[in-house]
Amino acid sequence: MKHRCSILSAAVLVFFVAACEGRAQIGLPPGFQKLELQVEGVARSGIVYAPAAAMEKPTPVVFVFHGHGGTAFNSGRSFAMHKHWPEAISVCLQGLNTPGRLTDPEGKKPGWQHGAGAEGDRDLKLFDAVMAHLKKTYKVDTKRVFSTGHSNGGGFTYLLWQMRPDALCAVAPSAAASARSASASFKPKPCMHIAGTQDPLVKYAWQELAMAKVKQINQCEAEAKPWAQDCTLFPSKVGAPFVAFIHQGTHKFPDEAPALIAKFFKEQSAAVK
């Protein structure tokens, strides 16, 4: 009887381990692989989706940055660039614990540096390291690299525009306001901004100032035209159009945003000479 109980216990243990492993695999979006690398002695991670063609021909890259307290896995699911633009490489990186400007002042949750020089520029260095890794691993189309992110991730996307302008083709920040104080260091860049009029965290008034600054930087024309539902396109005199996606929601990343971000990035990709 004791022998049978031991066998039963072993079987239950095997089942438990297998179940845990199964859940771990479920956490990784289909088609993604884990990315692990050291950046100045610090372990960094993320997940990467790459189409088979990325091994043979120049392929666009889309970076996705989660909000404060988020994860690379969840941003892979919610942005789903691999579904809306499967011909592109999708890179969802994981932030490190960072003090938040609006929440989490003690920095107990993961996020991204808020400005140039903050946190030792660890996340700008991460971007550089990942770009170097992608170029070694795949055939990257360096003229077609894009960045998007929500909240703190949207703010970091604006920071990438400021600090790595020549590395990016276009950007699409969501629920971010850091560009409201943008300086001359910003070069004109195609941009799509997603903002909720009822956002209680990143106030819509702040985001309005950010969008006005972007239109100024991009030398946008005053006359705008409809681009998609809830989206307005402001043409640019210097080839850097701006799309304002204004929804009536809160701080939550809108369900319709991923398809519209992919549409915008594809249009900018096609415009590259």
What pLDDT tens digit does each residue of the chain (273 aa) get? 444 444 333 333 333 333 333 333 456 777 899 999 999 999 999 999 999 999 999 999 999 999 999 999 999 999 999 999 999 999 999 999 999 888 889 999 999 999 999 999 999 999 999 999 999 999 999 999 999 999 999 999 999 999 999 999 999 999 999 888 787 779 999 999 999 999 999 999 999 999 999 999 999 999 999 999 999 999 999 999 999 999 999 999 999 999 999 999 999 999 998
Hey, what long-range contacts does 173-176 have (CB within 8 A, 24 or more apart)? 173/148, 173/149, 174/148, 174/149, 174/150, 174/253, 174/257, 175/67, 175/150, 175/151, 175/199, 175/201, 175/202, 175/207, 175/251, 175/253, 176/149, 176/150, 176/151, 176/152, 176/202, 176/207, 176/210
pTM above 0.85, yes or no: yes
Q: Where are the domains of the chain?
A: 1-29, 31-271
Judge: domain 31-271, CATH 3.40.50.740: no
